[in-house]
Chains A and B, each alone.
Chain A
């Protein structure tokens, strides 16, 4: 089971983890809600519906049946369209926790192929945007093969460093404006040597860009902060 799927399993059992996941994916949830051009629903209602649907998707997701993000995107769209139509008829919407619709999406055979196509299009678009952002730091995808840590533990440490940068306004600003990492501060904050920060500097920058940008699909392939055996 891959790292993201393991995380989803944890979210099914732990509400705190689920809330953390929703917080991280709010940009995705909001953007999917905004994409549905349906009238009759306020944006606020769409976002609420989208959040609820996302939670239900976590509950109903089964590994091996396609990508979670594509599944969630489809469910959010369907749900908002449904509720939009209902609200036009009855004049109001009901926010209820009903995962039957999400389960129904799983059972449609054509869904798998559609979600794969959607995933590919979305990934291509994310890869292109990420490539543009990385170019500003003079990092190419091919160079990532050499700079990426080989050990899972090292990648976990890099994730910790990336999150530490995002949590610290000063470090984050310095990276965005001056394209520089605060090596000393970061080493202190994450209790690693400055040598480690220097060694993985460019990979950490990649992680920061993915975490802070709109890359929900690529984001599911990121390392976790817990290392261990590969």
Chain B
């Protein structure tokens, strides 16, 4: 529960300034007046969530505490960046146990979809086929997917790559870029409040713009980052004209995603080596 000030009222809705500076629109209470300080419940549990909660309580009461902990231990992570930046945490059963939007668009989409406890393939399907996400996927979009796993990263990466590519076939002109990333990159990305996929793109751009800071890339789409990389690449190689692949990737590594041929990103290779073969 958070407190909020009633700023505006009409027949059905109230505009509230919630503590922390957020403005929201909620169904009005008949007794509210402008200037009232009211208590706002941020989320209402729906029936599905209650069912999950009941199941979890059952596990906790009748199962073991270690079983609960086992279910909720993160062992893998998938991030998808189009313009919305979204990250899934997976457990050892390949189920989504956490989901986070790393920018406004991502946060909005995540709040509208029920993806927890679904298999990662199902969650990716629901996400990419949702109306909310479709609004962002255009023909010239760049889609970057980063995959981290404590074990068998290669297999997970291959599966995710195949699923995302299949779902986006015909919707985007360029290939989906899918990478394996290591634990160190994941930590650095999170410290910079970015998904591993976008953080990797930032590191690639930083090779050309050493003064670049992570905060400056937080609100850029991966397409915008890759376009800047491409522009630098063209400048360096002295080539003019259009380049359809605006990703700026080197060494033909597009889509294979293991990053082995990726010479960009400080410490990237070190992180890639750490991320593989667990």
Given contacts A3-B19, A150-B22, A221-B21, contact A123 B216 (CB under 8 A): no
Residues of A with C-beta under 8 A to B103: 151
A158 neighbours in B (Cβ, 8 Å): 21
Residues of B within 8 A of A121 (CB): 35
Query: Is A222 a contact of B21 with CB atoms below 8 Å?
Result: yes
Pick the contact of B8: A3, A67, A142, A152 (CB < 8 A): A142
Is B193 an interface position by the 8 A CB rule? yes
A119–B101 alpha-carbon span in the complex (Å): 37
| Chain A interface size range | 35 or more
Contacts of A124 in B (CB 8 A): 34-35
Distance in Å from the Cβ of A228 to the closest Cβ of chain B? 10
Q: Which of A67, A120, A193, A224 is in CB contact (< 8 Å) with B219?
A: A193
Check: A230 CB closer than 8 A to any chain B CB. Answer: yes
By beta carbon, the residue of chain B nearest A222 is B21
Q: Which residues of A contact B20 (CB under 8 A)?
A: 2-3, 152, 155, 221, 223-224, 230
- Chain B residues closer than 8 Å to A192, beta-carbon distance: 215-216, 219
**Complex Cα–Cα for A199 and B220 (A):** 12
Q: Taking each of B3, B24, B33, B37, which has the highest tally of chain A beta carbons within 10 Å of its own beta carbon?
A: B37
CB within 8 A of A141: which of B15, B36, B213?
A: B15
Chain A CB within 8 A of B137 CB: no
A contact patch SS = helix
Q: Which of A150, A151, A199, A221 has the most CB of B within 10 A?
A: A221
**Which residues of chain A are within 8 angstroms of B24 by Cβ–Cβ distance?**
145
Tell whether, in the assembled complex, residue B216 and residue A120 are in contact, meaning their CB atoms are under 8 Å apart. Answer: no
Question: A127 is contacted by which of B34, B216, B219 (Cβ under 8 Å)?
Answer: B34
| CB-defined contacts of A223 to chain B, threshold 8 Å | 20-22
- Chain B: which residue is nearest A153 at the CB level? B193
Contact A191 B213 (CB under 8 A): yes
Chain A residues, Cβ within 8 Å of B101: 151
Considering the chains assembled together, what is the distance between the CA atoms of A120 and B5 in angstroms? 9
> Which residues of chain A in 134-186 are interfacial with respect to chain B, using CB atoms and an 8 Å cutoff?
140-142, 144-145, 148-155, 158-159
Interface range, B side: 35 or more
Return the CB mask of B179-197 against A: 1 if under 8 Å, else 0.
0000000000000010000
Name the distance in Å between B246's Cβ and chain A's nearest Cβ: 18
Say yes or no: B35 contacts A141, CB within 8 Å.
no
Do B107 and A151 touch (CB < 8 A)? yes
Q: Are A141 and B7 in contact (CB under 8 A)?
A: yes
Which of the residues A144, A155, A199 comes within 8 Å of B15, measured between beta carbons? A144
Q: Are B21 and A123 closer than 8 Å at their CB atoms?
A: no
Q: Are A120 and B36 in contact (CB under 8 A)?
A: yes
Which residue of chain A has its CB nearest to the CB of B25? A145
Query: Are A148 and B216 within 8 A (Cβ)?
Result: no
Closest A residue to B108 using CB positions: A150
Min CB–CB distance B79 → chain A (angstroms): 17
Is A218 an interface position by the 8 A CB rule? yes
Residue of B22, B36, B213, B215 near A148 (CB, 8 A) is B22
Q: A106: CB under 8 A from chain B?
A: no
A159 CB contacts on chain B under 8 angstroms = 21
- Tell me the minimal C-beta distance from A158 to chain B in angstroms: 8
A96 to chain B, nearest CB (A): 34
The residues of A that contact B10 with a CB separation of less than 8 Å are 142
Q: How far is the CB of B171 from chain A (nearest CB, A)?
A: 24
Give CA–CA (A148, B4) in the complex, Å.
15
Residues of A within 8 A of B193 (CB): 153, 227
Q: Are B104 and A149 in contact (CB under 8 A)?
A: yes
Q: How far is the CB of B252 from chain A (nearest CB, A)?
A: 30
- Does chain A have a CB within 8 A of B136? no
Measured CB to CB, the nearest residue on chain B to A119 is B37
Given known A-B contacts A120-B35, A150-B108, A207-B21, A199 and B219 have beta carbons under 8 A apart: yes
Task: Report how far A101 CA is from B217 CA in the complex, Å.
Answer: 52
Among the interface residues B5, B33, B107, which one has the most CB atoms of the partner chain A within 10 A? B5
New A-B contacts (17) at CB < 8 Å, excluding given A116-B37, A124-B34, A144-B15: A2-B3, A4-B19, A123-B37, A142-B10, A145-B15, A150-B104, A151-B104, A151-B107, A191-B215, A192-B216, A193-B219, A193-B220, A195-B219, A195-B220, A221-B20, A222-B21, A223-B21
Question: Can you spell out 26 A-B residue pairs with CB atoms less than 8 angstroms apart?
Answer: A2-B19, A3-B20, A120-B35, A120-B36, A123-B37, A124-B34, A127-B35, A142-B8, A145-B25, A148-B23, A150-B22, A151-B101, A151-B104, A155-B20, A155-B21, A158-B21, A191-B215, A192-B215, A193-B220, A196-B218, A199-B219, A217-B5, A218-B17, A221-B4, A221-B5, A221-B20
B residues whose Cβ falls under 8 Å from a Cβ of A: 2-5, 7-8, 10, 15, 17-25, 33-37, 101, 103-104, 107-108, 111, 193, 213, 215-220
